[in-house]
A and B are shown apart, each in its own frame.
Chain A
Amino acid sequence: QVQLVESGGGLVKPGGSLRLSCAASGFTFSDYYMSWIRQAPGKGLEWVSYISGSDNIIYYADSVKGRFTISRDNAKNSLYLQLNSLRAEDTAVYYCARTAGVKLRPYYGMSVWGQGTTVTVSS
């Protein structure tokens, strides 16, 4: 079945780095835009970044631009998020999500979500 599984979260000190992964299965990964969305404890959803199927189109939220890097490996059916220069305010559950339709951008709707991976930034 269609599935996304995130991994790589953990506890990191301010200024540190982390790499999140999202393993996809059950669909043709390269056909879909993929996104990262985060949710701080007790807060709402915040879109972080998205990448096109062929990785030539990438967008970031202003809050992470210059610090986070999204990438994908279509041969491995995997999505990644490199988190650098981490701050306390980056503490959140990070979800990866797939767009609802082939070649559609995330704002058309994200119909498949992973269970999330938790990133905690604290000294």
Chain B
Amino acid sequence: QSALTQPASVSGSPGQSITISCTGTTSDVGGYNYVSWYQQHPGKAPKLIIYDVTNRPSGVSNRFSGSKSGSTASLTISGLQTEDEADYYCNSYTTSSTHVVFGGGTKLTVL
């Protein structure tokens, strides 16, 4: 199955806001509200930060927010902090036989 499309890298300065996109098709992102986002620091397991497009699990900072327009989902991080530097992955339901697909990942650098 084809991975969802994410930019390879984004960067921002402390205090700024950044947005990471996740582009799919009507068979996945565009057709269903089952988009989740994960944060992964080097050498660590991924952490769920957004589920069902816009919802934050308990304990996740409200600086993280999710949205969707058409077949593109977005993760916005406001008030960037140095500890936000990590890799970010989107994930979605897909009508393909596999049911689940990840994006290729985006490396966030906080300058």
Contact = CB atoms under 8 A, between A and B. Distances in A.
Contacts of A115: 45
B102 A44 contact: yes
A113 B46 contact: yes
A71 to B, nearest CB: 18
Contacts of B30: none
A50 B36 contact: no
B102 A47 contact: yes
Interface residues of B, number: 27
Contacts of A100: 48, 51, 57
A108 B100 contact: no
Interface stretch (B17-25, B77-85, B91-99): B91-99
Contacts, number: 74
Nearest to A114: B45
A111 interface: yes
A111 B56 CA distance: 11
B105 A45 contact: yes
A123 to B, nearest CB: 27
A109 B51 contact: yes
Nearest to B47: A113
B38 interface: yes
Contacts of B101: 47
Nearest to A46: B102
A95 B51 CA distance: 19
Interface string A18-57: 0000000000000000010100000011110010000000
Contact of B100 (A47, A111, A116): A47
Given A44-B3, A61-B1, A107-B36, 16 more contacts: A44-B104, A45-B38, A45-B91, A47-B98, A47-B102, A59-B98, A61-B98, A62-B97, A100-B48, A106-B99, A107-B93, A107-B100, A108-B51, A111-B48, A113-B45, A113-B47
